[in-house]
Amino acid sequence: MSTARGSNSVFAGQPTAAVRDASESLEEFAERAQAFLMSAAKPLGVSRTPSTSDGSPCVSEEDRVSLFRGSTVEDARAACDWRRQVFDAGFGWIKGPKEWGGAGLSGKFEKAYLQFERQYETPSPSPLGVSLGMVGPTLNQFGSDEAKQRWLTGLYRGDFIGCQLFSEPAAGSDLASVKTKAIANDDHWIVTGQKVWTSGAHYSDVGLVLARTSPSPRHGNLTVFLVDMHAPGVEVKPLRQMTGEADFNEVFLDNVKVEDAYRLGEIDEGWQVAMATLLHERGAIGGSGSGGTGLFDMNKLAAMLISLGVDGDPMIRQQYATVATGVAAAKAMRSRAEAAMKSGQTPGAEMSLSKLALTRNLAALSDLVSKALGPKLLMDTHEPRTYAWTEYVLGVPGFRLGGGTDEIQRNIIAERVLDLPKEPTPRRNLPH
């Protein structure tokens, strides 16, 4: 599936007419954003309890609580259609450079717009998470003008969807050991290999692939490329999760031709590009640990506990407090990281801390709802927002893997922040 083919793409490198001057005040921006949203979407209404007169499960789509939504081609198309409206109104890439279609505004404008948008019924942005959180920022940072001309504006407008092709069957947390190879051939490369756990590959148009390009020592033999996911030799196979959905995929690359212009960074310096990509990923993932996912609405959570009649249980109250304090701490840490980036500092271990904060908060919320719901977590009792939490609880363990496992993040913090010695390498050929 290609979300780009057949769409009316804006020409790359030209900002939309809706983009205002960077001197626009936050108040003027807010008025413009609210006017757009009022004309393009419906305000969120009061949740309705699904009818159960026919004995069907009471879990409606609006009740469903899940980390992995099992995004389909139709979900991706809906997200892209909405994204194009947002972009053409001047809100699609608020912090982006004007020469590539961005608004050239600061992060406070983006934060304000997102707060407004959450008050309206819009398609889930999940299918575009990797595009906007990883592929787009990495392309903007390392891509050639030709690569940006083809892909950059389209990624932020929703004309294209991007995925990340890093992990392999034998190279997950240890990315330096990837086996996928890229062999130079005149003005292009031939890429061959296998990738795994690729989110959204089944509806993506372009992939960010990490490949070996020389026999040099580890970390000095890798290069990153942009691969057309519709090119000959690219095959995508879904991976089914225990939730029943298939968000992840295997991707096979069989002699795929990639133009050298779509190389990101210098040859054999892909490790730096990959690490920058992971920083973008951890930043995007970690931001949700302070409430960005909408899961950590403590008022709604309290209302659910009250409706279940468990709000007086001391254990429940303690677990609720654990979630609340974890979210508050994540917000403070996120603000500190954003302040450092505004002052020109390069983000580092803060992103690992943010990612760890997210997984800890997700686990704490899982423990809370599991305790509060008891058997209702596994059985549909025709009560809203009870059985609907099952997918969430099943999805929490998998979130510990995205952006580097929790163990990898702890090593980064230990070695780069606390200056502790590196984890010892296991001895081999030990005597029996």
3-state helix/strand/coil string of 196-242: CCCCCHHHCCEEEEEEECCCCCCCCCEEEEEEECCCCCEEEEEECCC
Over the chain, what is the mean pLDDT? 82
Positions marked catalytic: 281
* Residue 271 to residue 306: CA distance in whole angstroms: 50
Binned at pLDDT 50, 70 and 90, residue 33 comes out as: very high
Distance of alpha carbon 88 from alpha carbon 81, whole angstroms: 11
Give the distance, in angstroms, between the CA of residue 208 and the centroid of all CA atoms in the same chain.
Answer: 14
Q: Would the pLDDT of 363 be above 70?
A: yes
Q: Kindly state the greatest CA–CA separation across the chain.
A: 74
Q: Quick check: 133 and 178 in contact, CB under 8 A?
A: no
Cα dihedral sign, 232-280-262-149: positive
Shortest CA distance to 167 belongs to which of 402, 410, 423, 412? 402
In whole angstroms, give the CA distance from residue 319 to residue 372. 10
**Burial category of 250 from C-beta neighbours within 10 Å (exposed 0-12, middle 13-18, buried 19 and up):** middle
- Per-residue pLDDT, averaged over 304-316, amounts to 93
Query: How is residue 3 written in tokens?
Result: 């979300």
Say whether 164 sits in a helix, a strand or coil: strand
* pLDDT value of residue 282: 59
Q: Rounded mean pLDDT of 200-225?
A: 94
Distance CA 202, CA 354 (A): 29
pLDDT at 345: 65
Q: What is the pLDDT of residue 21?
A: 56
Token representation of residue 90: 């001047």
The pairing of beta strand 222-228 with beta strand 206-212: antiparallel
Q: Which two tokens stand for residue 308?
A: 């279940």
pLDDT at 11: 32
- Quote the pLDDT of residue 14: 42
Q: Average of pLDDT values for 269-286?
A: 78
Q: Give the pLDDT of residue 319.
A: 96
CA dihedral angle for residue 302, residue 304, residue 306, residue 312, rounded to 10 degrees = -70
- For the stretch 252-263, what's the b/e string if a residue is b when 16 or more beta carbons lie within 10 angstroms of its beta carbon? bbeebebbeebb
Pairwise CA distance, residues 162 & 412, whole Å:
27
- Domains and their CATH numbers in the chain: 29-161 (1.10.540.10), 164-270 (2.40.110.10), 274-416 (1.20.140.10)
More confident residue, 112 or 5: 112
Q: Six-digit token pair at 22?
A: 């960077």
pLDDT at residue 110 greater than cutoff 60: yes
Of 293-297, 347-351, 366-370, 413-417, the poorest mean pLDDT is in: 347-351
pLDDT reading at 30 higher than 90: yes
**pTM for this model (two decimals):** 0.76
Residue 113 and residue 96 in contact, taking contact as beta carbons nearer than 8 Å: no
Q: Which residue from 418, 422, 284, 308 is spatially nearest to 372, judged by alpha carbons? A: 308
DSSP letters spanning 6-28:
TS-PPPTT---TTPPPTT--HHH
Q: Amino acid identity, residue 328?
A: A
Please report how the helices 349-373 and 406-416 are oriented relative to each other, as an axis angle in degrees rounded to 10: 140
Q: Could you give the CA distance from residue 150 to residue 152 in angstroms, rounded to a whole number?
A: 6
Question: Identity (one letter) of the amino acid at 42?
Answer: K
The predicted structure's pLDDT at residue 402: 67
Six token digits for residue 40: 């393009």
